[in-house]
Amino acid sequence: MKVSATRRLVAAGDEHQIVVLDHDGVVRWRTSWGRLGGGAGADFHLDGDRVLWIRLADNEELVAVNGASGAEIRRVPLPGPETAWFLHTPEGVWTGLTLADPDQVRALLIRLDAEHIVLRPLAGGDLAGFSPAGGRYLTLTLDGFLSVRDVASDAVITARHLEDLPGAPSGLAGCRHVDRAVFLSEGLILVAVNAADLPDDAEGHLLLSALSLRCRSQVRYPHQDESGAVHPSYQPGRWLTRHHEDDQLRLWQLDARLDDEPMPGQLALL
């Protein structure tokens, strides 16, 4: 089952249908994927309380639905890979969307303008996230390239390969893949890296400068099995981890400055 939520609504979907509820559990509306013109299951995202975005992979369409009522607003063709995920943008004007498979990646910004869907392509690879102020976005590729780019112009602010991160610990020299990368603040990015393309078995978490991708510190957790996959919390200095063996979700916070100043040694975690 997939879930997306705002402060007022929760959308939950399985292979057969999607249901939108209030936070008190009252069902606002439900419909089958077939009625929307899709097949089994779909990717979706609540963009505030007004718009529910749905990517129907079978017929390669992007659909905007009224989140509160279920009424369709607009749909447009959106060809590309079957796998898709949406990303929250802090300022709320755009929503990020990535269509990805090993051979082809399309990253987009999407929004509604006078009930019409506007699509804007992004460069750089998989869209990993946005800075807290919304002015920059982070991309990564399966072969280990990272880039920070300006949202307004797509201009590259900084770009590096994992093997070329200044200040990276020598013990992580064998890491060749980025599992996940998220903005923690305007000045810091957290990346989970590993030697094999195994998302739940990240071998190291690094704090990087958001301006230069210089490694500022390595994160060491109280227990080794508390690392694992990284997920954004959308709160400054905080992030979530989930390890595949115990399947527990943990919230972490940096007990330190959230800027790009030097950070000798290990950072305290709360």
Q: What is the pLDDT confidence band of residue 120, given thresholds at 50, 70 and 90?
A: very high
**Does residue 265 register a pLDDT over 50?**
no
For residues 104 and 216, state if they share a domain: no
Average confidence score pLDDT of the chain: 84
The three-state secondary structure class of 200 is helix
Last residue of a domain, one of 68, 103, 122: 122
pLDDT of residue 16: 92
Last residue of a domain, one of 73, 106, 122: 122
Q: Is 133 domain-assigned?
A: no
For residues 90 and 172, state if they share a domain: no
Are 256 and 268 in contact by the 8 Å Cβ rule? The answer is yes
Domain count, the chain: 2
pTM of the model: 0.85
pLDDT of residue 214: 93
pLDDT of residue 176: 65
For residues 20 and 97, state if they share a domain: yes
Mean pLDDT, rounded, for 65-92: 89
Q: Which of 179, 173, 172, 174 is nearest to 197 (CA)?
A: 179
DSSP state, residue 171: G
Are 87 and 95 in contact by the 8 Å Cβ rule? The answer is yes
Domain span at residue 5 reads: 1-122
